[in-house]
Amino acid sequence: MKCQNCNLPIEMDSSLMDLSLAQRNLLVNTVSEPSAPNYRIPQDRLQRLAQIKKPSELSLQKSLVNNSDSYVFLQGDSSSLQQTRTDDESGDDLDEDITSKTLSSRIGTLTNIFNILSSKSNIDYPVCQECCEHLIQKLKSDYDEALKERDTYVDFLSRLSKQKDLEEKKPKGKQDLCEDEKSIAEKEQDQLLQELISLEKTDSELDKKIEELEGKLKAQKEKEDQALRVRNLEDLSKLEFAKELQSLQNQYEFTLTNLDNLRKTNIFNETFRISHDGPFGTINGLRLGSLDEVRVSWQEINAALGQLVLLLASICTRLQFKLDGYILKPMGSYSKIEHFDPETQQWYNYDAFNNDSFKLGRLFHKETSFDKALECLLSIVKLMTLRMCDCADRGADELELPYEMHGHKINGISIKLFGNKPNIEWTTACKFLLTNCKWLLAFSSSMMTGT
């Protein structure tokens, strides 16, 4: 069995499984009052029905009950008694068959009862406890609404009855007055009818005028809409022109700002970045020097010297300085410097790089071409400083470099290696040289912006 409302399985009460015929009839008849039969049962059938004995009136012998046969009484729709007999050899199987038939017949009987109950009401049976409670609440609300509707009808009927009583109690002596009032009302009705006719004519004339005015208003509105469209197009074109003009102004200002930034930017400061990394001086990230603890390859040292030569040559070219007796040849890691010797009246070419190849002069710690190139770098930096002082009309004290240079020494430290390996002194001297070059670059930058 399943609930006909929520379709959930329900458990039937044990009392419903053993219903007698009277209980079933009582359960079915309580739903609605039985209608009077519209047919007549024949008398012979009634007599035959009276002759049927009830199960309680039957007297069965104990021997029959204790015998190998067994009897089961089933209740059907005709309330007839059926008797089933089984043999001793199939006793156990017969009991199970009888039990299943009894249970199925009871369930079939309950199904018929639920169908009858459902056909006599607005509720489909069977229902579970929760659905039953919901149905009870719904029936209560329907009952309350029916009571309210009944009270409304009762109130309306009472008002009608009162009105009828008042009309019946009205005095008969005032009938003539009512007739006079009726004639006056009819005359007034005729006058109002004439006024209504005149008003209808006036209304038709007004309708025609309204149509004419609406036509004029429509034409005027179309004219105004057209003028408004033209004005909107003009405003839109002006707005687009203003936007384009503002965009061009923004671009112009942005370009001017970039131009000013470019004018203030020194290309030499951006191209040649001189700094330091601990004990090492660096130019564009290349270390110039080497220590026993931190060995720097000659490829990096030569590249740093090539950048330094390129820096000095670029400053001379930009400021149009001509170095007397010196020619800078920036060639990357293999840069060179030419020097004119006034005594011999010859030009000498010195390598501003060291390939770390073996030379016989190293055994005697003699001066090499690399040492001559470094000494020339000190002389060139000092010469460029003097030229800048002359061009800027300033004294030498105003453009004094942080480290003093004399011959092949800077701040008292020799810039030459004499064929030895780089050490702390030579690394420090290179760092001082890069520092002086940074100051020289700053001085030259002010002169370049001035020009």
Give the model confidence (pLDDT) of 17-61 as tens digits. Answer: 666 777 767 766 665 544 555 556 777 777 777 777 655 565 544
User: Cα 387 from chain centroid?
Assistant: 68
Is residue 5 in some structural domain? no
Domain hosting 368: range is: 267-450
Helix (H, G, I), strand (E, B) or coil at 108: helix
Is residue 416 in some structural domain? yes
Q: Measured on CA atoms in the order 436, 313, 407, 301, is the torsion positive or negative?
A: positive
Please write the tens of the pLDDT for every residue from 268-278. Answer: 777 888 888 88
Same domain, 413 and 354: yes
Same domain, 241 and 384: no
| Residues 114/127, Cβ–Cβ less than 8 Å | no
DSSP at 411? T
**How far is it, in rounded angstroms, from Cα 109 to Cα 409?**
129
Same domain, 227 and 86: no
Q: Which residue has the higher pLDDT, 183 or 107?
A: 183
Instruction: Report in angstroms the alpha-carbon separations of 436 from 96, 139, 170, 274, 308.
Output: 121, 108, 134, 10, 11
Is residue 285 in some structural domain? yes
Same domain, 240 and 351: no
Q: What is the pLDDT of residue 100?
A: 53
Same domain, 352 and 411: yes
Is residue 172 in some structural domain? no
87 has a pLDDT exceeding 50: no
Same domain, 226 and 290: no
Is residue 202 in some structural domain? yes
Average pLDDT over residues 113-123: 72
Same domain, 292 and 417: yes
The whole-chain average pLDDT of the chain stands at 78
| Residues 309/326, Cβ–Cβ less than 8 Å | no
Is residue 167 in some structural domain? no
Same domain, 301 and 370: yes
Is residue 55 in some structural domain? yes
Same domain, 248 and 285: no
Closest CA to 268 of 237, 308, 240, 234: 308
Q: What is the domain-level CATH number for residue 394? A: 1.10.418.40
Q: Which residues make Cβ contacts (< 8 Å) with residue 431, sequence separation at least 6?
A: 276, 279, 280, 281, 288, 289
Q: How many domains does the chain have?
A: 3
Same domain, 219 and 112: no
Maximum average pLDDT range among 132-136, 211-215, 364-368: 211-215
Q: What is the pLDDT of residue 102?
A: 67
- The structure's pTM equals 0.44
Same domain, 205 and 321: no
Same domain, 120 and 209: no
Average pLDDT over residues 240-263: 90
Q: What is the pLDDT of residue 238?
A: 94
97 has a pLDDT exceeding 60: no
Average pLDDT over residues 166-184: 67
Is residue 304 in some structural domain? yes
Closest CA to 292 of 101, 431, 421: 421
Looking at 81, 103, 127, which one is the last position of a domain? 127
Please write the tens of the pLDDT for every residue from 186-230. Answer: 888 888 889 889 999 999 999 999 999 999 999 999 999 999 999
Paired residues of 351 in beta bridges: 336
